[in-house]
Structure 1
Amino acid sequence: METMRTLLDRSMQLLCCLLFITMVGVASWQVIARYILNDPSTVSEAFLRFSLVWLSMLAIAYVAGRREHVSLTLLTDKLTGAWKSAFEMSIEILFIGFSAFVLLYGGAQATANSMSQVYPMLDIPKGFLYLSLPLSGAIIITYSLINCVSIYRGCLRTRRLES
């Protein structure tokens, strides 16, 4: 399980970094084209808007999977042992439910509905923009399942140490 998490982590880090570096390059070109060449690029602005959605969704999936998202730990800090594990497991199950229903199902519907529409500046189907939703949903579900296994194994270790 840890090798799968490491592989997923490295893939997400690489993808997000490459996308961010590309966005910095395109934004730099936009500034040069607009202020030095006096010929602003409309494609770069559309690409940046498109890329920002993708980068945001992929980064959200990565951060949620690493359990480094913003959270209220008031309750979990007071819990110990099996209660803490059960609470953490229920949070992961909520993540799976939200990701499956909203991101996977809703994102797939939005993608399918907008594939026939064309993103005017980039001349690609708008569905590619919405494709970031089901993809990030699938990544969050994968991470959450890995987290559930880790929580379960941690709970088993704790029980063995107590007995």
Structure 2
Amino acid sequence: MLSVLRFLDRLLMGAVMIVAAALLVLASCISMWQVITRFALEDPSTWSEVASRSLIIWMVYLGVAVAIRKGSLMSVEFLYEISRGTGRKLLLAAISGVSLGVLLVMVWMGWEMAHRVRFQSIAGVLDPINGQRISIAWLYAALPIGAALSVVALLTRTAELFVEPDPPAASLREAEPV
């Protein structure tokens, strides 16, 4: 079961990482366009700042899911490192439970906000295909989608940590010199 979960997780998080990286590249290019139009051409682009900010919002919320999956978020690991056996599993369950609760609230509130603003549009940005205004709900959708992906990442990481044996004891004295 865990091997299937890991396989699906690898596919999902790999795709999320690629999309987040592409959004970062695109936001950087658009920001550079904004600088060129503002300072070199002295005719600022009306859409580039909003578009860049929107892409960065999406990139961050997608990137959080990958960071949770890899265990890269900042944490205080002292209690986790000194605990063993059942105590470690209880601590892991408590941390995961609180994190899951926060993420589920983010999914719910993000969905509510995206739904609430669905008739508002993003100022200065038009759909390049049909020239229509773009709903600001697409920006707000980054929150529930990123949080839902983070829930998947959290559950996968927690499942892995529950089945792996305790790592060797680590102490502050064993840390590598800086």
Instruction: Indicate the TM-score class for this superposition, using the shorter chain for normalisation.
Output: 0.7 to 0.9
In the TM superposition, residue 104 of structure 1 has moved relative to its aligned partner by 0.9
Which of these residues, 146, 150, 162, is aligned with residue 152 of structure 1? Answer: 162
In the TM superposition, residue 41 of structure 1 has moved relative to its aligned partner by 0.4
Instruction: Give the corresponding residue for 1:77.
Output: 81
Gaps of 5+ in 2: 126-132, 167-178
Instruction: Give the corresponding residue for 2:149.
Output: 139
The two structures, once aligned, show a CA RMSD in angstroms of 1.5
What TM-score do you get using the length of structure 1 for normalisation? 0.88
1:5-84 superposed matches below 5 A? 5-84=9-88
Gaps of 5+ in 1: 159-163
What TM-score do you get using the length of structure 2 for normalisation? 0.81
1:70-109 superposed matches below 5 A? 70-101=74-105, 103-109=106-112
Distance in 2 (alpha carbons) for counterparts of 1:11 and 1:86: 32
Distance in 2 (alpha carbons) for counterparts of 1:2 and 1:57: 21
Distance in 2 (alpha carbons) for counterparts of 1:85 and 1:42: 53
**Between 123-132 and 89-98, the greater mean CA deviation after superposition:** 89-98
Determine what percentage of the aligned residue pairs are the same residue. 21
One-letter amino acid matched to 1:130 = Y
One-letter amino acid matched to 2:111 = A
Runs (4+) of structure 1 exceeding 4 A deviation are none
Contact 2:21 2:59 in 1 (8 A): no
Instruction: Give the corresponding residue for 1:3.
Output: 7
Report whether the alignment pairs 1:124 with 2:134.
Answer: yes
Distance in 1 (alpha carbons) for counterparts of 2:50 and 2:7: 37
In the TM superposition, residue 8 of structure 1 has moved relative to its aligned partner by 2.2
Question: What is the CA deviation profile of residues 72-120 of structure 1, one whole-angstrom value per residue up to 9, with x for unaligned ones?
Answer: 112112111221122123212222111112x111001100000011111
Distance in 2 (alpha carbons) for counterparts of 1:152 and 1:60: 22
One-letter amino acid matched to 2:161 = I
One-letter amino acid matched to 1:54 = W
Distance in 2 (alpha carbons) for counterparts of 1:52 and 1:46: 10
